[in-house]
């Protein structure tokens, strides 16, 4: 058995670090002795060293299950720079590259292998693990294996199947920064085999915690416009601004850009190259602020993030603690600011909770469909009108309860009801939904507390250490209030009248180009005006929408020539779209055609929850009365509202087939819905 002194000599030679923290060494000592450990420590503590160091001591390969591709990339790069044979397998690499890495692991050429938990569903990987010389298994972000955790993922549960097959004496380490007592007990129970739990101190004295109560989204934008650069300059660094949705990342980024505040937007909808470029830029302090959903941050090992601001309350204090834990890892002062709008800010986290654990009614919908025959995922989604993510949660739960099973017909996965299976047990689901809603109540409690905010978070997470905190706006720091002046109201109004959302619709095999919307449906009076005309008998769309749409057109397309205006035949709005398109034609002096028609009746896209259902609703739904008039023409394609872009993309594909040249979409409003992260 290696002594601490011997280990620290090796630590200096391999990792260029002088010594271990006491809890790091305690963990490593148990791992080297072949034990199972659950390590709960604050972000920035150095949990990764607790498995990376023993991995270099063991002869075989250490496999680390991690849901974080950014972390994989970052840690593999660092390990390789230290001369340690490390690789990762993930969905952003080609199948050939992943297969090559598996081969290298089987040949014992890799010391540390990071892998996404979803690989537990991959037959190539399952077979490969039988031929590897495993020396240790690590479950990073271990709260994901617990249904009571804040980021439960069904694929993580399958890791436990592997863990149960491991021989006694092969070490297992589970790590997390965020585990309540209930989650701790669940993780420990699943990994089992005499597991040792090591729980550290979660307090962060270097944080300055503030809550800013606002009455509107405008107040958030105005305060940040006035103060963001001041915060960055005062603290001497850059930071993260977390928003609730992808759309919000775009809005805040464009707002900051209009004020010449150095920033960029990040979300899960970006392509892999763009995400990597922004992650690298973050490390190099390229911007004062990165505006992101919670898709960014986990696994980014940057010690000097000086501020983290949330424009939307997270679902629970656990989510919040994890996200703010990315700041100030170097121990220097960092500002932690949370905006809260009493009237609106509960809606989004409630939607997340609904999405993460659908209602029992939706479980029964899926069961009714599967009972009636063999169907694949797409068919079930269409028949139940569920989002794909919701269906996959339900499918996983029903399979785990032994109510349905997956069967292969050729290359197709179908789902089959298992006769004589036990009835659906709803007890755990109901308990879980109740627990998540109570967590949200606790997040509201954090906003409203008059005591120490740091103590509130530590107590919630099970760290009941006796400590006097004086680092928040309730315990010594000055309260922050929003002061709205006419100057800033005018600035925001000017921004809204000159900011036009892009319609990202370009696709392979279509001549459609990215278009433009005059506004977002839900963030101004545009949505109200459209609703009055469409559903309340308000007559033609008002002239201010025409002026705004023309400004959007001119800003996006300038003096580009168009031969023809076509409009999408409406489902419900009568002549509203046609009349508006005719006004555009008169002003822009572009001829209008009424030849684009529908071959069948479609439904309003807003009634469908899944993108799959939206696409199927309009698939092959268009025809043209005069197809010869389309060939070679550059077309401006108008519609009133763009939801998922499925309708516009389908129309673009149809017109491309008729020989159209460029097809440029123009709409009055783009909906705010869609993907959240």
- For 25, the 3-state DSSP assignment is helix
Q: What is the average pLDDT value for the chain, to the nearest integer?
A: 89
DSSP 145: G
Token digits of residue 103? 């081969």
Measure the CA–CA gap between 39 and 340, rounded to whole angstroms.
Answer: 33
pLDDT at 159 over 90: no
Tell me the average pLDDT across 571-595.
92
Strands (E), 288-431: 289-292, 307-310, 334-341, 404-409, 412-417
How far is the C-alpha of 370 from the C-alpha of 328, rounded, in Å?
50
Q: How confident is the model at residue 409 (pLDDT cuts 50, 70, 90)?
A: confident
pLDDT band at 197 (very low <50, low <70, confident <90, very high): very high
Band of pLDDT at residue 330, cut at 50, 70 and 90: confident
Residue 375 has phi, psi (to 5 degrees) of -140, 155
In whole angstroms, give the CA distance from residue 589 to residue 550: 12
Asked whether residue 93 carries a pLDDT value surpassing 90, the answer given is no
Segment (H or E) for 174? strand 172-176
The whole-number pLDDT of residue 654 equals 95
DSSP characters over 107-126 = TT--SEEEE-GGGGG-HHHH
Classify strands 334-341 and 263-266 as parallel, antiparallel or unpaired: unpaired
Q: Name the DSSP letter for residue 203.
A: -
**Residues linked to residue 502 through DSSP beta bridges, in sequence order:** 516
Calculate the CA 651 to chain-centre distance. Answer: 29
The arithmetic mean of pLDDT across residues 472-483, rounded, is 95
Provide mean pLDDT across the span 205-229: 95
Q: What is the pTM of this model?
A: 0.78
Distance CA 7, CA 441 (A): 46
Cβ atoms 337, 210 nearer than 8 A = yes
pLDDT at 73 (0 to 100): 83
> Percentage helix, strand, coil, to 5, in the chain?
45, 15, 40
Q: Give CB contacts under 8 A, 24+ apart, made by 257-264.
A: 258/495, 258/498, 258/499, 259/225, 259/491, 261/225, 261/228, 261/229, 261/288, 261/289, 262/286, 262/287, 262/288, 262/289, 263/287, 263/288, 263/289, 263/290, 263/291, 264/290, 264/291
Distance CA(155)–CA(131), nearest Å, equals: 22
Among the listed ranges 191-205, 611-625, 648-662, which one has the minimum average pLDDT value? 191-205
Confidence of residue 665 (pLDDT cuts 50, 70, 90): very high
pLDDT of 653 > 60? The answer is yes
pLDDT at 121: 62
The DSSP annotation for 77-117 comes to HHHHHTT--EEEE-TTS-HHHHHHHHHHHHTT--SEEEE-G
CA angle 267, 270, 275 (to 5 degrees): 80
DSSP string, 600-619: S----GGG--SHHHHHHHHT
In the predicted model, is pLDDT for residue 674 greater than 60? no
Give the pLDDT of residue 27: 95
Q: How far apart are the first and last CA of the chain?
A: 46
Q: Which segment of 95-109, 135-149, 217-231, 247-261 scores lowest on mean pLDDT?
A: 135-149
How far is residue 148's CA from residue 178's CA, in Å, rounded to a whole number? 11
Distance of CA 201 to the CA centre of its chain: 28
Whether residue 117 has pLDDT greater than 80 = no
Compute the residue count for the chain. 677
pLDDT at 298 over 70: no
Most confident range, picked from 67-71, 298-302, 607-611, 655-659:
655-659
pLDDT score recorded for residue 151? 67
User: What confidence tier does 91 reach under pLDDT thresholds 50, 70, 90?
Assistant: confident
Contact assessment for residue 27 and residue 198, using Cβ atoms and an 8 Å cutoff: yes
The CA-CA-CA angle for residues 616, 622, 628, to 5°, reads 150
Q: Is 95 exposed, middle or buried (CB count within 10 Å of its CB: 0-12, 13-18, 19+)?
A: exposed
Better-predicted residue by pLDDT, 602 or 19: 19
Q: Are strands 307-310 and 289-292 parallel, antiparallel or unpaired?
A: unpaired
Of the candidates 522, 671, 642, 673, the one whose C-alpha atom is nearest the C-alpha of residue 217 is: 522
**Whether the Cβ atoms of residue 652 and residue 595 lie closer than 8 Å to each other:** no
> For residue 512, what is the DSSP state?
B
Mean pLDDT over 10-24 rounds to 93
pLDDT in tens, 548-565: 999 999 999 988 999 999
Integer Cα distance of 313 and 340 in angstroms: 7
152 or 429: which leads in pLDDT: 429
The pLDDT, as a whole number, for residue 297 is 61
* Alpha-carbon gap, residue 37 to 28, rounded angstroms: 9
Angle between helices 486-498 and 217-235 (to 10 degrees): 100
pLDDT greater than 80 at residue 403: yes
Burial-class residue 303 by CB neighbours within 10 Å (0-12, 13-18, 19+). exposed
Strand partners, 214: 341
pLDDT in tens, 47-85: 899 999 999 999 999 999 888 777 788 889 999 999 999
In percent, the amount of the chain with pLDDT more than 70 equals: 96
Question: How many angstroms from the chain centroid is the CA of residue 394?
Answer: 20
Encoding tokens for residue 460? Answer: 């919630």
Q: Which two tokens stand for residue 343?
A: 């009237």
Between CA 497 and CA 518 the distance in angstroms is 9
Contacts of 441 by beta carbon, 8 Å cutoff, 6+ apart: none
């Amino acid at each position: 058995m290696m002594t601490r002194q011997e280990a620290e000599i090796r630590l200096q030679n391999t990792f260029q670090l002088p010594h271990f923290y006491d809890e790091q060494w305690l963990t490593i000592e148990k791992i080297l002795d072949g034990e199972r450990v659950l390590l709960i420590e604050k972000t920035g503590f150095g949990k990764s060293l607790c498995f990376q160091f023993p991995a270099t001591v063991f002869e075989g390969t250490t496999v680390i299950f991690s849901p974080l591709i950014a972390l994989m990339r970052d840690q593999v790069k660092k390990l390789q720079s230290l001369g340690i044979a490390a690789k990762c397998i993930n969905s952003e690499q080609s199948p050939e590259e992943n297969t090559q890495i598996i081969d290298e692991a089987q040949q014992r050429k890799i010391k540390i292998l990071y892998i996404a938990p979803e690989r537990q569903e991959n037959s190539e990987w399952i077979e490969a693990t039988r031929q590897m010389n495993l020396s240790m298994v690590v479950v990073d972000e271990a709260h994901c294996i617990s249904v009571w955790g804040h980021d439960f993922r069904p694929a993580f549960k399958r890791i436990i199947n592997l863990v149960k097959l491991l021989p006694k004496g092969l070490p297992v380490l589970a790590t997390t920064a965020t585990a309540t007592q209930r989650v701790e007990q669940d993780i420990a129970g699943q990994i089992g085999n005499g597991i040792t739990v090591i729980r550290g101190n979660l307090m962060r004295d270097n944080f300055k915690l503030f809550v800013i109560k606002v009455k509107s989204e405008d107040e958030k934008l105005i305060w940040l416009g006035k103060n963001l650069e001041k915060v960055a300059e005062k603290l001497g660094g850059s930071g993260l601004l977390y928003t609730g949705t992808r759309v919000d990342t775009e809005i805040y980024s464009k707002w900051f850009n209009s004020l010449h505040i150095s920033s960029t937007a990040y979300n899960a909808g970006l392509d892999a190259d763009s995400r990597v470029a922004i992650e690298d830029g973050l490390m190099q302090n390229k911007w004062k602020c990165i505006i992101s959903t919670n898709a960014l941050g986990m696994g980014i090992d940057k010690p000097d993030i000086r501020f983290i601001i949330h424009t939307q309350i997270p679902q629970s204090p656990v989510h919040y603690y994890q996200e703010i834990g990315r700041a100030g890892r170097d121990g220097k002062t960092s500002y932690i600011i949370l905006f809260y709008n009493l009237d609106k800010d509960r809606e989004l986290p409630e939607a997340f909770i609904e999405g993460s654990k659908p209602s029992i009614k939706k479980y029964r919908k899926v069961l009714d469909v599967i009972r009636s025959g063999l169907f694949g995922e797409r068919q079930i989604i269409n028949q139940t009108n569920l989002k794909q993510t919701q269906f996959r949660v339900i499918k996983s739960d029903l399979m785990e309860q032994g109510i349905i099973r997956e069967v292969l017909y050729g290359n197709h996965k179908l789902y089959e009801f298992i006769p004589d299976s036990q009835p659906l047990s709803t007890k755990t689901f109901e308990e879980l939904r109740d627990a998540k809603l109570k967590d949200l109540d606790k997040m509201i409690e954090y906003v409203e507390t008059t005591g120490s905010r740091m103590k509130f978070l530590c107590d919630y997470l099970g760290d009941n250490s006796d400590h006097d905190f004086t680092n928040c706006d309730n315990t010594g720091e000055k309260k922050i209030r929003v002061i709205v002046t006419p100057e800033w109201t005018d600035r925001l109004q000017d921004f809204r009248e000159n900011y036009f959302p892009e319609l990202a619709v370009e696709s392979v095999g279509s001549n459609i180009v990215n278009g433009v919307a005059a506004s977002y449906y839900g963030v101004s009076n545009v949505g109200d005006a459209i609703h009055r005309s469409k559903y309340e008998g308000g007559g033609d769309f008002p002239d201010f929408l025409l002026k705004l749409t023309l400004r959007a057109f001119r800003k996006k397309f300038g003096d580009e020539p168009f031969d023809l205006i076509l409009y999408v035949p409406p489902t419900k709005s009568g002549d509203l779209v046609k009349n508006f398109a005719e006004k555009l034609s008169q002003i822009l002096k572009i001829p209008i055609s009424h030849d684009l028609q529908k071959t069948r009746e479609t439904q309003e896209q807003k009634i469908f929850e899944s993108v799959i259902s939206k696409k199927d609703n309009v698939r092959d739904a268009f025809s043209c009365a005069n197809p010869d008039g389309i060939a070679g023409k550059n077309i401006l394609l108008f519609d009133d509202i763009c939801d998922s872009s499925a309708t516009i993309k389908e129309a673009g594909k149809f017109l491309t087939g008729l020989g159209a040249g460029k097809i440029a979409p123009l709409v009055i409003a783009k909906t705010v819905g869609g993907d959240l992260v």
